[in-house]
Amino acid sequence: MLAAYGIAILLAMAIHYSRPEALTVSGTNLELARSHNRRAVIETVRLNGQLTRADLARLTALTPQTVSNIAGELLDAGLLLAGEPLRDGARGQPAIPLRINPDGAYSIGVQLDQQQLVAVAVDLAGQVRGRTRYPASRPTPAVALPLIRQALADLRAVPGLDWRRLLGMGLVMPGPFGVAGMTSVGPTTLPGWEEVDAAGLQATLGLPVLLQKDATAAAIGERLHGIASGMQNFVYLFVGHGLGAGLFLDGRLYTGLRRNAGEVGHMIVMPDGRPCSCGNHGCLERYVSLQSLYETLGWQGEAGDCLARLARLEGEDAWAAERWLAMAARALRQAVNILECLLDVEGVVIGGLLPAALLAQLVERLHPLPASIRQCDGPRLQVGAAGGDVVALGAAALPIFDEFNPGYEALLKASA
Ligand SMILES: [Zn+2]
């Protein structure tokens, strides 16, 4: 359980570590410590179901007095619930188990990609309480903002959600962020997002907004809801219109200097290969991505719902998909070898927007994988299990894990 606690805290820390401004905060700042300890208590209870104050003190290494103060604050704020006292026949006060109040707080996760907007509302226990989806064709901010507002209105209408307890919204989209010649350029990114930042969105939408790449959000979603829950070191390869990776290393999310770590789509795997919109040749996403698949199929533009069509390929299309699978497997095999040799991870998880049957065929064709330095038991490559909403779920986790989220302060103050 201690390990599980550590993972949760590190995940929480990793998310605020990815924000450059967080690095300027002194480690001795009492408000920071208080906020961090509060998140530690919430996450430890969340991971363990229910715990007494004594359990919490032991697992978090906080003093009983600190745990007692924080627990009191969180109970008053409605983030925790107290259960029936546990009587074990021993002397002393009966211990009161504490658990998460699912309705203590909510969070919204929004995924934007080339063809759609998916939004979910999750509660503090991580359960999905509402979902909505809108088709969208390579949405610019001008197109996406009204859709986000509509999605928020849809979710606001979900029965049982107290909107006053909303912590904020995680908004995720394809990367990279802020790279001249790559951001908003080419068919695998979204146009017009160069100048948009979280602060501007927050001012426009009137709620805390955290921005992240879709592949990073997918790694969070898989960590919380899928097969990576026990993994300390893994790479999540997200096959979207392009290709990105979420990196979870030493029990924490690694996002890099400018949140662009894991932009493996522009890793050159075929020198002198296919030209890429970034100006290079032979980038990985020119072989492993929906965009590369659509090109092999000869599908142009955005006519119809391409994702739905992919699930029922026949005739010439089925043959073209076979050709793509062979080409994609060749490039991906090399990429898995590079990622393992570079990062020494337990495993690579692959998922994304590809229909399940095509993804399974792609994974099957990767074997045998080339040798690498990896020395772990268990599968080297697994298909993600968090489901089609893995990105939106990861996005929804962002405000919940953010220690500096002012939403928490508002809830605590509201209860005072
Ligand atoms: Zn490229």
Residue 411: predicted pLDDT: 76
- What stretch of H or E contains 14? helix 2-17
Contact 33, 60 (CB under 8 A): no
- The Cα 285–Cα 282 span in angstroms is 8
Residue 33: predicted pLDDT: 79
pLDDT at 51 > cutoff 80? yes
**Amino acid letter at 71?**
A
- Helix, strand or coil, per DSSP, at residue 190: coil
Phi, psi of 76 (to 5 degrees): -60, -35
**Amino acid letter at 98?**
L
C-alpha 233 to ligand 1 mean position (Å): 26
Q: Bridge-partner residues for 347, per DSSP?
A: 234
- What stretch of H or E contains 12? helix 2-17
pLDDT at 123 > cutoff 70? yes
C-alpha 270 to ligand 1 mean position (Å): 11
C-alpha 176 to ligand 1 mean position (Å): 11
pLDDT at 349 > cutoff 60? yes
Query: Left if phi > 0, otherwise alpha if psi is -120 to 50, otherwise beta: which for 301?
Result: left
- The Cα 351–Cα 236 span in angstroms is 7
Residues in the chain: 416
Residue 195: predicted pLDDT: 76
DSSP state string for 309-374: HHTT--HHHHHHHHHHHHHHHHHHHHHHHHHHHHH--SEEEEEESS-HHHHHHHHHHTPSPPP-S-
Looking at per-residue confidence, does 337 or 407 come out higher?
Answer: 337
- Helix, strand or coil, per DSSP, at residue 38: helix
Per-residue CA distances from 195 to 162, 178, 201, 332, 367 (Å): 33, 9, 11, 33, 42
C-alpha 42 to ligand 1 mean position (Å): 41
DSSP state string for 256-299: -TTS-TT-GGGSB-STT-SB-TTS-BSBGGGTSSHHHHHHHHT-
C-alpha 253 to ligand 1 mean position (Å): 24
C-alpha 282 to ligand 1 mean position (Å): 7
CA angle, 360 then 363 then 369, to 5°: 165
C-alpha 332 to ligand 1 mean position (Å): 15
Give the pLDDT band (50/70/90) at residue 409: confident
C-alpha 281 to ligand 1 mean position (Å): 7
C-alpha 3 to ligand 1 mean position (Å): 39
C-alpha 336 to ligand 1 mean position (Å): 18
- The Cα 363–Cα 357 span in angstroms is 10
Return all residues near 33 (Cβ < 8 A) that are at least 6 apart. Answer: none
Give the pLDDT band (50/70/90) at residue 258: confident
pLDDT at 12 > cutoff 50? no
Least-confidence region, from 8-12, 184-188, 399-403: 8-12
Give the pLDDT band (50/70/90) at residue 404: low
C-alpha 286 to ligand 1 mean position (Å): 7
C-alpha 173 to ligand 1 mean position (Å): 17
C-alpha 180 to ligand 1 mean position (Å): 12
Give the pLDDT band (50/70/90) at residue 416: low
C-alpha 174 to ligand 1 mean position (Å): 14
C-alpha 285 to ligand 1 mean position (Å): 7
C-alpha 296 to ligand 1 mean position (Å): 18
C-alpha 30 to ligand 1 mean position (Å): 45
C-alpha 283 to ligand 1 mean position (Å): 5
Closest CA to 213 of 346, 350, 113, 289: 113
Residue whose tokens read 């970034």 = 278
C-alpha 275 to ligand 1 mean position (Å): 8
C-alpha 239 to ligand 1 mean position (Å): 15
Residue 415: predicted pLDDT: 61
C-alpha 243 to ligand 1 mean position (Å): 10
Chain centroid to Cα 401, Å, comes to: 11
C-alpha 235 to ligand 1 mean position (Å): 20
C-alpha 222 to ligand 1 mean position (Å): 26
C-alpha 263 to ligand 1 mean position (Å): 10
